[in-house]
Amino acid sequence: MDILDKVRSFREEENKLKWEGTFAEYLDVVKKRKEVAQTAHSRVYNMIKSSGLIERDGKRLYQFFGEEIFGLEDAIERLVEEYFHPAAKRLDVRKRILLLMGPVSGGKSTIVTLLKRGLESYSRTDEGAVYAIKGCPMHEDPLHLIPQHLRHDFYETYGIRIEGSLSPLNTMRLEKEYGGEIENVLVERIFFSEDKRVGIGTFTPSDPKSQDIADLTGSIDFSTIAEFGSESDPRAYRFDGELNKANRGMMEFQEMLKLDEKFLWHLLSLTQEGNFKAGRFALISADELIVAHTNETEYRTFISNKKNEALHSRIIVMPIPYNLKVSQEERIYEKMIKESDMAHVHIAPHALRVAAIFSVLTRLEDSKKQGLDVVKKMRLYDGENVEGFNQVDVEELKKEFPNEGMHGIDPRYVINRISSAIIRKEVPSINALDVLRALKDGLDQHASISQEDREKYMNYIAIARREFDEIAKKEVQKAFVYSYEESAITLMNNYLDNVEAYCNKNRLRDPLTGEEMNPDEKLMRSIEEQIGISENAKKAFREEILIRISAYARKGKRFDYRSHDRLREAIQKKLFADLKDVVKITTSSQTPDESQLKKINEVVARLIDEYGYNSTSANELLRYVGSLLNR
């Protein structure tokens, strides 16, 4: 199917969704599907929920944000559970402006964009269908046609509460066009669209001297005053402000706190009472979710101004910090690269990881916990096991600095520096060292970084480099191990046989001679020493391994060397230690002999086929590791 066929198919599907009928026919729709009469807040919450929810480790992960927002699970959960959910239940938080506060490039705008795009799609589903009085520029809720004195009876019959009054324009249309007969008023299904200004509005501050309040609330159409005879005739008014057009959906205020005060005053009654003043009319009802975003500095300035107290009490602030998980930060960079013109460039494995390590380190606070440095804290936050600490400590660490993640290096800076590295190198491949070099060079050009922070950041680049050195050595050593998995399994089985005999005070039988022999203490210690197990701690460690094996057996699971993180690390390090001299000689030889050359070619092939390198980055990695091992 070519693009024009797809356009035609989409148009046909859109036409099938269209609906038009009288108010009486609309009531039949409401009777069958109460959700068509839900509030704007309820619609947003149900839209988020409809994409799916995953419960993991006591956390709720909303899939609506899953492929776009990374590492902000706590902030998203708080946003949904503390704002959207109670607002959907008509609790008082729906009468508050939602203010997303966080550092630049932290995901605030992305969250708002997701909500807007999501509403556009959701309004095309049966669950998210929206109906409005036909011909109304504000897409007014048809239920506003029900007179106030009959709304209690309507609730008793339909179980739906009606809030808001019929707008001045539709009040006049009801009398003049329909003779007061609400059952004949035409109703149509509408589809939210930011481009067409249906149900989604966006307001951006500009010069306070030239920006007109009409941008928000609409304005008088002077060309029609002669026709209708008065400025107070609603037909002589353009209901085309952003607040008018965002009715039934959501309204985004970009950099809200930069707005002139006269624009903010309109939000007081809109949030608390659900209406606003426009022209020479009675208050106009509006049902819309108001979302704004700003940075921490502007927010602090705003709340320090006593004149803003009334509005401040009508704001719910949701902090949106930077992501603090290295693995999720990598995903942010991958997404940004995919969306750019750099997608064709080969980025060597771990190049984005070292950038992520640097970024996350700049955002972390130094913990007061004894024995926990910033690198260990970074690993804990990313779900890794750190000796002496567990995931309970993570929750305590988060409480230690509630505002952690509100400062540091932003993802855009990193992508800018990666772009610089690609352009400077002029080859279709960059590695971790290229990225670190570019990050380091860019610190001097970053205007907002103080000298003190610059020195700290240089130290973090050095830490990221050390982390990469370890990763690189392991990667090459793994590639040198022929049938790495088989070697690891063989070594582990040998170790476990000896551990079992040791713990049960048994003797082993030599598979070749059949001769009985004591457990091989030298072998067991050579593995355990790789991860710092002391002579005094060896018995407890071995017993822990046996307990883990029996637990797996009870559950019908197969235990292998990856089933115990510390055992896996010990096995890997033991294999690597045995290979170190081979790797060192092969990678550092200036004129390798035939057997060395063959080995290098095999390793390069394995790095390409199994680890994601290309020819250039694989050879660069080998040369770098050779230089590391020769130091």
Average pLDDT over residues 164-181: 93
Q: Give the pLDDT of residue 326.
A: 95
CA dist., res. 92 & res. 105, Å (int): 31
Q: Give residue 483's pLDDT band: very low, low, confident or very high (50, 70, 90).
A: low
The pLDDT > 70 percentage for the chain reads 97
**What pLDDT does 484 receive?**
67
Looking at residue 276, its pLDDT comes to 84
Per-range mean pLDDT, top range of 47-56, 175-184, 451-460 = 175-184
Q: pLDDT at residue 110 above 80?
A: yes
Q: How confident is the model at residue 128, as a pLDDT? A: 93
568-577 pLDDT, tens digit each: 888 888 887 7
Model confidence at 121: pLDDT above 60: yes
- Over residues 337-349, the mean pLDDT reads 83
* Percent of the chain at pLDDT exceeding 90: 45
- Per-residue pLDDT, 140: 95
Pairwise CA distance, residues 310 & 593, whole Å:
80
Judged against a pLDDT cut of 80, whether residue 510 lies above it is answered with no
Q: What is the mean pLDDT of the chain?
A: 87
- Average pLDDT (410-421) is 88
Backbone angles phi, psi at 268, to 5 degrees: -60, -55
- Does the pLDDT at position 63 exceed 80? yes
Whole-number pLDDT of residue 118: 95
Give, as one character, the DSSP assignment of residue 35. Answer: G
What pLDDT, in 10s, does the model give residues 487-496?
788 888 899 9
292 near 252, Cβ under 8 Å? yes
Amino acid identity for residue 271 in this structure? T
Closest alpha carbon to 442 in 427, 429, 456, 458: 458
Q: What is the dihedral of CA 393, 395, 396, 400, to 10 degrees?
A: 130
Range in 386-390, 435-439, 538-542, 617-621 the model is least confident about: 386-390
Query: What would the two tokens of residue 273 be?
Result: 């009472």
Q: Which of 135-144, 323-332, 479-488 is least confident?
A: 479-488
Beta strands in 265-395 (DSSP E): 275-276, 284-285, 289-294, 315-319, 346-347
DSSP for 99-126, please give it.
Answer: EEE--TTSSHHHHHHHHHHHHHHHTTSS
| 408-428 average pLDDT score | 83
Sign of CA pseudo-dihedral 203, 209, 212, 216:
positive
pLDDT at 351: 94
Confidence of residue 384 (pLDDT cuts 50, 70, 90): confident
Q: What is the pLDDT of residues 82-102, one digit of tens each?
A: 999 999 999 888 888 999 999
Residue 289 has pLDDT above 90, yes or no: yes
Specify the pLDDT at position 1: 62
Give the closest residue to 232 by CA, choosing from 172, 161, 303: 172
Decide: helix, strand or coil at residue 153: helix
Give the number of other CB atoms < 10 A from CB of residue 547. 11
d(CA 95, CA 79): 15
pLDDT band at 482 (very low <50, low <70, confident <90, very high): low
Q: Mean pLDDT across the stretch 283-311?
A: 86
For 344-379, what is each residue's pLDDT tens digit?
A: 788 999 999 999 999 999 999 998 888 889 999 999
* Helix, strand, or coil (residue 468): helix
Q: Which helix (H) or strand (E) holds 149?
A: none
- The reported pLDDT for the residue numbered 449 is 80
Give the chain's end-to-end CA distance (angstroms, integer).
60
What is the predicted pLDDT for the residue at 566?
A: 86
Q: Which residue has the tokens 């355990």?
A: 528
Q: Give the highest mean pLDDT range of 218-232, 442-456, 615-629.
A: 615-629
In this prediction, residue 162 carries a pLDDT of 94
Most confident of 29-38, 311-320, 470-479, 510-519: 29-38
pLDDT at 426: 67
Whether the pLDDT of residue 226 is over 90: the answer is: no
Geometric angle at alpha carbon 67, from 62 and 70, rounded to 5° = 80
**Does the pLDDT value for residue 340 go beyond 90?**
no
Provide the pLDDT for residue 126: 92
Check residue 231 and give its pLDDT. 77
Is the pLDDT at 425 greater than 70? The verdict is no
Q: What DSSP string describes 548-581?
A: HHHHHHHTTPPP-TTSSHHHHHHHHHHHHHHHHH
